[in-house]
Amino acid sequence: MTERKPPDVSFGTWVEQQIRDAGAREDFARLPGAGRPLPRDMEAPYDEMWWVKRKPAREGHSVLPPTPALRKEAEDALGAALAAPSERIVRRILTEINVKIRDMMFKPPPGPRWARSRTTSRMSYGGGGSAGRGRTGPGPGTPDGVPGRGAGQARRSRSASSR
């Protein structure tokens, strides 16, 4: 713990003395990032959302959703294949990206399991059926449950009406 500033010493002189003492104890050598240059964004104007922008990169997440990220990776792979010095390297680059593309095509997308496994039918939303609306059968005068079609109006097939 740092001692209090003596009353007879100016603030600037006291701070400089504290810095010199810490340097003599080599406290600055153990800091994270010691010996590396400061990040470029230190000179940029202040952004209130700086931590939101850095968090995905710090945790190893892609900023893009999986499909656009794979599309960008495929474009980068194509550029690398065009610049490759040998056919063997071109084949390796294209094989790696093709494996990733096949994995994306044949495996379920990432995300919560409930979002992938929950299915609904249009009947449960009232798109022509009675499920979810409390009815047990077709209404009066509608033999097949479709509103607006009376008992004498049969449903025509498309091929019969287009003749």
User: Average pLDDT of 21-30?
Assistant: 86
Average pLDDT over residues 65-69: 82
Is residue 130 packed enough to be buried (19+ CB in 10 Å), middle (13-18) or exposed (0-12)? middle
Q: Is pLDDT larger for residue 11 or for residue 149? A: 11
Name the one residue in this structure whose structure tokens are 């002189």: 13
Residue ranges of the domains in the chain? 66-115
Tens of pLDDT, residue by residue over 44-59, are: 888 888 888 888 878 8
Q: What is the pLDDT of residues 110-159, one digit of tens each?
A: 666 654 444 545 555 555 545 444 555 555 555 555 555 555 555 555 55
